[in-house]
Amino acid sequence: MAKKRFCYDYPRPMVTVDCVLLRVHERRLEVLLVRRGAAPHKGAWALPGGFIRMKEPLEAAVARELAEETGIRDISFLIQLGAYGNPDRDPRGRVISVGFIGIIPGEGPEPQGGDDASETRWHPVETTPKALAFDHASIIGDALLRLAAGGRTSGVLFAFLKDPFTADGVRDVLHAVYGVELNPREYLAPYLKEGIVRRAGKAGKYRFVGERR
């Protein structure tokens, strides 16, 4: 069967997805990075991601790339962050990337490098490598700003916790995201009032039952 070919009057951009995958480990916020095993930026640290397939939804592309490059499949939260389209962001040509924020509940499994990732490792967000590939430093910065803002107005921070969770667990997440000690019971109070979080029956245990945004 002959290979299907396409011809257009105008050049078409390529599309990729990149995921800022986050977890809380020992009261620190960490991001998962992969070391690129191929050009461009071979040997540099980067966000997990890659080119989408023609009939693949964006979220499915993120899940596939994470599984292929890191072996991680258990994600409690995934949301689109934004599009990144600087014409010079990728030396391979006109590549537009759709960024996502993903969250791992608890510490999650240890990642295993695969596909075109020669290595994969969790990095504290305040000490990520300086020379990240492409514009991934900007994508991470945008994700952290979005997370900090969303943590004040939505239930996104509960995605870092496995149900049932405790007030101490909430305290650790708040410290990881904001870098200061906050009262977890004061933080929980409005969510309890709105029914987004409920007591889990056992003393000091809670469950998230609302919708994360």
Which residues have a catalytic role annotated? 119
Identify the CA nearest to 81 among candidates 67, 99, 65.
Answer: 99
Contact 84, 135 (CB under 8 A): yes
Other CB atoms within 10 Å distance of the CB of residue 38: 11
| Ordered DSSP codes for 133-168 | STTHHHHHHHHHHHHHHHHHHSSGGGGGSPSSEEHH
Is the bond preceding 164 in cis, omega lying within 30 degrees of 0?
yes
Contact partners, residue 44, CB within 8 Å, separation at least 6:
35, 36, 129, 131, 132, 133
122, amino acid identity: W
Beta bridge partners, 121, equal: 33
